[in-house]
Amino acid sequence: MLMKRLTCYTALLMLLLWTSGCDLLTIEDRPDPNGPSLEDLLQNPTRAKLANLATGIESASRFELNIYLIDVGMIGREYWRFSSADPRFTGDLLGKGTAVLDNNTFYITRPWGARYRVVRNAHILLEALANAADLSDAEKRALAGFAKTFIAYQLLLNLNLTYDNGIRVDVSGPEPGPIVSRSEALAFIASLLDEAAQDLSAGGDAFPFPLSSGFAGFDTPATFRQFNRALAARVAAYREQFDQVLTLLADSFYDPDGDLKTGVYHSFSTAAGDMVNPLFFDPNAPAGDALVAHPSFAAEIEAGDQRLSKVVLREEPASLDGLTSNYGFYVYPAADAPIPIIRNAELILLAAEAHIQLGDLDTAVSLLNRIRNAAGLPDYAGPLTQEALLDEMLHQRRYELYGEGHRWIDLRRYNRLDELPIDRPGDDVWRQFPIPATENL
Mean pLDDT over the full length of the chain? 93
For residue 63, how many other CB atoms are within 10 A of its CB? 19
Same domain, 172 and 297: no
**Kind and range of the H or E run holding 66:** helix 65-75
- Position 40 scores a pLDDT of 87
Task: Decide: pTM greater than 0.85.
Answer: yes
pLDDT higher than threshold 70 for residue 8: no
Least confident among 27-41, 157-171, 205-219, 221-235: 27-41
What's the CA gap between 6 and 51, in Å, rounded? 10
Are 61 and 155 in a shared domain? Answer: yes
In terms of domains, do 200 and 317 share one? Answer: no
pLDDT value, residue 36:
58
Mark whether 143 and 6 lie in a shared domain.
yes
Task: Write the CA distances from 406 to 98, 149, 190, 239, 349, integer angstroms.
Answer: 27, 20, 19, 15, 12
Provide the pLDDT for residue 343.
Answer: 98
| Residue 421, domain member (yes or no) | no
Of 158, 188, 210, the residue at which a domain comes to its end is 210
Domain count, the chain: 2
293 and 153, same structural domain?
A: no
Whether 200 is in a domain gets the answer: yes
pLDDT beyond 90 at 166: yes
pLDDT of residue 10: 42
The last residue of a domain, from among 157, 175, 210: 210
Q: What does the pLDDT average to over 330-339?
A: 98
> Is residue 105 domain-resident?
yes
Lowest mean pLDDT among 123-132, 149-158, 173-182, 325-334: 173-182
Does residue 276 lie in a domain region?
no
Tell me, what's the pLDDT at 4? 44
Picking from 27, 9, 42, the residue whose alpha carbon sits closest to that of residue 116 is 27
Judge if 188 and 304 occupy the same domain. no
289 confidence band (pLDDT: 50, 70, 90): very high
Q: Which pLDDT does position 438 carry in this prediction?
A: 86
In this predicted structure, the answer to whether residue 143 has a pLDDT above a threshold of 50 is yes
Strand partners, 203: none
Residue 28 belongs to domain with CATH number: 1.25.40
Instruction: Check whether residue 192 and residue 311 sit in a common domain.
Output: no
Taking residues 34-53, report their average pLDDT: 86
* Model pLDDT for residues 13-37, shown as the tens digit of each residue: 444 444 333 344 443 333 344 445 7
- 354 within some domain: no
Residue 341 lies in a domain: no
Partners of 376 in the β-ladder:
none
Q: What is the pLDDT of residue 440?
A: 65
Among left, alpha and beta (phi > 0; psi -120 to 50; other), residue 185 is alpha
Q: Which of 329, 360, 391 is the last residue of a domain?
A: 329
What's the pLDDT score for residue 373?
A: 98
Based on the domain organization, do 189 and 293 belong to the same domain? no
The C-alpha atoms of residue 254 and residue 260 are separated, in whole angstroms, by: 10
Which domain range does residue 323 map to?
Answer: 289-329
Q: Read off the pLDDT of each residue in 304-327 and give the average, rounded to a whole number.
A: 98
At 15 the pLDDT is: 42
Residues 202 and 85 in one domain: yes
Sequence-separated contacts (24+) of 37-44 with Cβ below 8 Å: 37/12, 38/13, 38/124, 41/9, 41/13, 41/124, 41/128, 42/124, 42/127, 42/128, 42/131, 43/131, 44/131
What per-residue confidence (pLDDT) applies to 173?
82
* pLDDT for 5 beyond 50: no
Q: What is the pLDDT of residue 38?
A: 87
- Domain-embedded: residue 385: no
Please give the average per-residue pLDDT across 80-104, as a whole number: 98
What DSSP designation does 290 have? E
State the pLDDT at residue 32.
Answer: 42
Whether 312 is covered by a domain: the verdict is: yes
β-partners of residue 263 are 343
pLDDT band, residue 139 (cuts 50/70/90): very high
Pick 373 or 4 by higher pLDDT. Answer: 373
